[in-house]
Structure 1
């Protein structure tokens, strides 16, 4: 994840929107039971944390897969490992 996007995610004053989601009652009860144990103020912040963790993991996996696919394609087109390493180094120094 890019640094700017990460900084935005850490901003507690981000705009929020209300949604309605149907979930099994036992899942809600488990969230309510675990929230205080894990240091959350309620089950909704815990549910948001779980959704955020899964979202970040998938974004990282998918964005990483895109970069890997691009590198593989460039190699097939004859770009040397040395040039790829140099370019990756430049890209990650931002």
Structure 2
């Protein structure tokens, strides 16, 4: 994820929207019980954290798969490892 996009994600004053989601009652009770033990003010911030963690993991996995496929394609087209590593270094420095 780009640095600017990450900074926006970490902004505590981001606009929020209300959603409705159906969940089993026992799951909500478990969330309410564990949230304060993990330092959360309530179960909703904990749920947002769980969703955010899963979303970041999926983005990393999916973006990583794309990068891996691109690298493999470049190698098949005769691009040297040195050039690929240099390009990756340029991209990850931002």
TM more than 0.5 = yes
Question: Counterpart in 2 of 1:62?
Answer: 62
Question: What is the total number of aligned residue pairs between the two structures?
Answer: 94
Q: Which runs of 5+ in 1 are unaligned?
A: none
Aligned structure 1 segments of 4 or more residues deviating by more than 6 angstroms: none
RMSD over aligned Cα, in angstroms? 0.7
Under a length normalisation based on structure 2, what TM-score does the superposition of the two structures give?
A: 0.96
Quote the Cα distance in structure 1 between the aligned partners of 2:10 and 2:93.
22
Q: What do the CA deviations read for 1:47-83 (whole angstroms, capped 9, x no partner)?
A: 0000000000000111111111100011011111111
Question: Counterpart in 2 of 1:24?
Answer: 24
Under a length normalisation based on structure 1, what TM-score does the superposition of the two structures give?
A: 0.96
Q: Which runs of 5+ in 2 are unaligned?
A: none
Q: SS of 1:60's equivalent? A: helix
